[in-house]
Structure 1
Amino acid sequence: MPRETFADKCMTRNGKIVILTGAGLSAESGLSTFRDEGGLWSQHRIEDVATPEAFARNPDLVQAFYNARRAQSRAATPNAAHVALARLQRDHGGEVVIVTQNVDGLHEKAGAKVIHLHGALDSALCHLCDHRWTAPETIDSATPCPACGHHSARPDVVWFGEMPYHMEEIAEHLENADIFASIGTSGQVYPAAGFSQLASDYGAECIELNLEPTSHVFHQRRIGHATQTILAWVEELIGA
């Protein structure tokens, strides 16, 4: 009997789709990835701006880096791939869960609801009392926490060495997924890099949409720019 494909599952059972998105999705909106030359990340070592130790050592440098990222993200607009995923979430007959490693907020600008694995640039976090609030345009050593009053604000993003957010909720979604799609992610940062294997072990049909292949786990691949591959994929699932 032929293997049931992701399209069969979605169209015949209104299957549940779980999508993981990474920096490659926002690249066509002008936001640089870790590996881009000439972008913000290329000007700093990760261990100098994206670890708890870096923040303890030089908080002004870390705050300035994330202030610049926040300004870039707020100025950016969603591309056609963001819009297509929001449409899939809205129009697909079954549940569509979008989990993102991105902190830029472009999914929300496109109208989607997402689970933020690595936090969000538009959120500030008090590193003393864990209170969260909408981030101002810039955060610095004088920014007070609205809850406790201490000058203890930091970006509400997950740094290397910290535990990603919402892991239990995400694991439950992966367990119940009919389709798991990985979009624009390198597949090198854990625990997100293990989501495809976990979803496959639970019986999901796994598809990768990326600029280049990353793992043998995927049953199908669409290689190319996100604005092309995702639009075609969404049209297959819900129609033009």
Structure 2
Amino acid sequence: MNIFVLTGAGVSAESGLGTFRDTSGLWTRFDPAKLATPEAFKRDPAQVNAFYDARRANLRGAQPNAAHFALADLQRRLAETGGRLFLCTQNIDDLHERAGAQHVVHMHGELFKARCPGCEAVVDWRDDLSGARCADCGGGLRPHVVWFGETPLEMDAIYDALEEADLFVAIGTSGSVYPAAGFVSEARRAGIRTCEINLDPSDNARAFDERRYGVASEMVPAWVEDVLGGR
């Protein structure tokens, strides 16, 4: 069985990481136009880096929750029987990896990496970025995250995996951020069964064949056990 799982901020909310688009999300308190665009970084790189330095500090103190561990276990157990869990996340945290997931596609980048806008070098980075310079060319570093107006990463691999899936599952996503919000429509056109697991219905909830609502730390492990028990 090949399963494509897309995760969003809701899967990490119980680990203490803020979501972005709900009523108390980060973008209700901060202006993304000033913090999450290439233009904002060009205008005031110190301000942008300071915002992501705070996010990075928050992530250093976070721990995976039961939803992360359940997905890592599902990935391992499917692989043992010749199946596959393609784990694609909109999140820039590393909690899937810390829970034991072996391969995670971060379509919106990774907070614990930095990128040089000049030479495009990407490096692991866990400290503050303010004032940091590229070791290759000496340019100032930026967070290795996809900002508004930029193209998400690894889209060819993502669409290839979606075409090969038997089941598409979206977990903790708002259903409002494209292209990820369009994955369910792509899956349905290909005849792939779809499932949403979320705290509340997403913006595109009606597009899913199956819907399960509740906190991720309870709903995801229960769904994983249903999948493994029904193979």
TM-score range, shorter chain: over 0.9
User: Does residue 49 of the first structure (1) align with residue 35 of the second (2)?
Assistant: yes
Which segments of 5 or more consecutive residues in structure 1 lack a partner in the other structure? Answer: 1-14
Q: Distance in 2 between matches of 1:207 and 1:43?
A: 31
Question: Any conservation in 2 of the 1:32–1:41 contact (CA below 8 Å)?
Answer: no
**AA in 2 matched with 1:71:** A
Matched with 2:166 is: 178
Question: Any conservation in 1 of the 2:21–2:174 contact (CA below 8 Å)?
Answer: no
11, 14, 30: which one aligns with 1:28 = 14
Q: What is the count of residue pairs matched by the alignment?
A: 224
184, 198, 210: which one aligns with 2:198 = 210
Q: Distance in 2 between matches of 1:38 and 1:170?
A: 30
Q: CA-to-partner distance for each residue in 1:135-169, whole Å, 9 max, x for gaps?
A: 141001x311122122x200000001000000010
Change (3 A) 1:91 1:119: same
Matched with 1:219 is: 209
- TM-score normalised according to structure 1 size: 0.89
Matched with 1:95 is: 84
118, 135, 157: which one aligns with 1:146 = 135
Residue 237 of structure 1 and its aligned partner are, at CA, apart by 1.5
Q: CA-to-partner distance for each residue in 1:213-236, whole Å, 9 max, x for gaps?
A: 222221001011111111110011
Question: Runs of 4+ in structure 1 displaced over 3 angstroms?
Answer: 35-43
- TM-score normalised according to structure 2 size: 0.93
Residue 42 of structure 1 and its aligned partner are, at CA, apart by 4.0
| Backbone CA RMSD of aligned residues | 1.5
Which segments of 5 or more consecutive residues in structure 2 lack a partner in the other structure? Answer: none
Q: CA-to-partner distance for each residue in 1:83-128, whole Å, 9 max, x for gaps?
A: 0000000012310000000001100110112000000000000000
Change (3 A) 1:47 1:124: same
Q: CA-to-partner distance for each residue in 1:58-79, whole Å, 9 max, x for gaps?
A: 1111000000001111110000
Question: Any conservation in 1 of the 2:107–2:154 contact (CA below 8 Å)?
Answer: yes
Q: Distance in 1 between matches of 2:112 and 2:70?
A: 23
Change (3 A) 1:78 1:136: closer
Matched with 1:8 is: none
Change (3 A) 1:197 1:76: same
Residue 41 of structure 1 and its aligned partner are, at CA, apart by 4.3
**AA in 1 matched with 2:3:** I
Matched with 2:110 is: 120
Question: Any conservation in 2 of the 1:124–1:154 contact (CA below 8 Å)?
Answer: yes
Q: Distance in 2 between matches of 1:220 and 1:39?
A: 26
Change (3 A) 1:59 1:162: same
Matched with 1:104 is: 93
Residue 36 of structure 1 and its aligned partner are, at CA, apart by 5.2
User: Does residue 158 of the first structure (1) align with residue 146 of the second (2)?
Assistant: yes
61, 65, 81: which one aligns with 1:75 = 61
Q: Distance in 2 between matches of 1:172 and 1:43?
A: 37
Question: Any conservation in 2 of the 1:176–1:202 contact (CA below 8 Å)?
Answer: no
Question: Any conservation in 1 of the 2:113–2:123 contact (CA below 8 Å)?
Answer: yes
